């Protein structure tokens, strides 16, 4: 069943007197449980597409349906609620709050979602254990390695049990060995049935996914089936 459906999605920005057409009619369907990588050169529109998929921006044309709901029809409050409930974000720069502990960082999306403190602590603890950091809950981000910080970011992204895990260059600030460990974790999440959309410019990272969507000049120009990459 399609969890994401884009039909003719366009995004145009006004730069002074000029229009910049970042997306020129993207058609894309992602099913529940898919593990998809989006690749493209700089300026191809992949970052704009990620922002639209993540409900961080709205298309200026076409239709984006998330679980059958047209995103462009939502008001700002509804869009914010949908983003917090349905999408977990993992960023290249981790985006952890330095003055908060691991536990507090993982609890943050639930604070925005109005979850009670006892339930927040329990769910955050479970997610921290799930990514292998059960002894690090009271540490601050600057006391962790890069790979550990990304694991915290993944735990935070999953704590609201989102429909989609959206990862933007998740290994970009990591060395190759640590990056491979993070990709093994993504594979485990995929094996559990998570829907994952990974944005990357690195071919070897994209090959961990089951399907690679190539975007160029604001349109999808190829969808490549790559199958499951074997674990190491």
pLDDT tens digits, residue range 44-59?
999 899 999 999 989 9
Q: Is the pLDDT of residue 2 over 60?
A: yes
Inside any domain, residue 21: no
pLDDT at 115: 87
Inside any domain, residue 12: no
Mean pLDDT of 102-128: 92
**Structure pTM?**
0.91
Inside any domain, residue 68: no
For residue range 9-34, list pLDDT tens digits in order: 999 998 888 889 999 999 999 999 99
Give how many domains the chain has, as a whole number: 1
Q: Is the pLDDT of residue 103 over 50?
A: yes
Non-local (6+) Cβ contacts of 16 within 8 A are none
**Closest to 213 (Cα-Cα) out of 12, 45, 10, 3:** 45
Inside any domain, residue 82: yes
- Tell me which residue range forms the domain holding 129: 34-60+75-225
Mean pLDDT of 115-125: 93
State both tokens at 17.
Answer: 């007197």
Inside any domain, residue 104: yes
Q: Is residue 88 within 8 Å of 160, Cβ to Cβ?
A: yes
pLDDT at 232: 37
Query: What CATH number does residue 123 fall under?
Result: 3.40.50.300
Inside any domain, residue 40: yes
């Amino acid at each position: 069943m399609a969890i994401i459906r884009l039909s003719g999605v366009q995004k145009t920005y006004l730069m002074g007197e000029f229009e910049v057409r970042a997306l020129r009619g993207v058609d894309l369907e992602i099913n529940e449980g898919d593990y998809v990588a989006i690749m493209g050169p700089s300026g191809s529109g992949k970052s704009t597409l990620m922002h639209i998929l993540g409900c961080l921006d709205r298309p200026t044309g076409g239709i984006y349906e998330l679980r059958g709901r047209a995103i462009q029809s939502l008001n700002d409050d509804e869009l914010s609620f949908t983003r917090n409930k349905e999408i977990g974000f993992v960023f290249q720069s981790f985006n952890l709050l330095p003055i908060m502990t691991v536990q507090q960082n993982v609890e943050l999306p639930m604070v925005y979602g109005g979850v009670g403190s006892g339930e927040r602590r329990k769910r955050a603890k479970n997610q921290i254990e799930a990514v292998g950091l059960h002894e690090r809950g009271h540490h601050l981000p600057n006391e962790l390695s890069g790979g550990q910080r990304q694991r915290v970011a993944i735990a935070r992204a999953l704590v609201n049990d989102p429909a989609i895990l959206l990862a933007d260059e998740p290994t970009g600030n990591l060395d190759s060995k640590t990056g491979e460990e993070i990709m093994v974790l993504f594979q485990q999440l995929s094996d559990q049935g998570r829907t994952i959309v990974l944005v990357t410019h690195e071919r070897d990272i994209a090959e961990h996914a089951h399907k690679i969507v190539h975007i160029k000049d604001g349109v999808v120009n190829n969808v490549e089936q790559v199958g499951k990459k074997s674990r190491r």
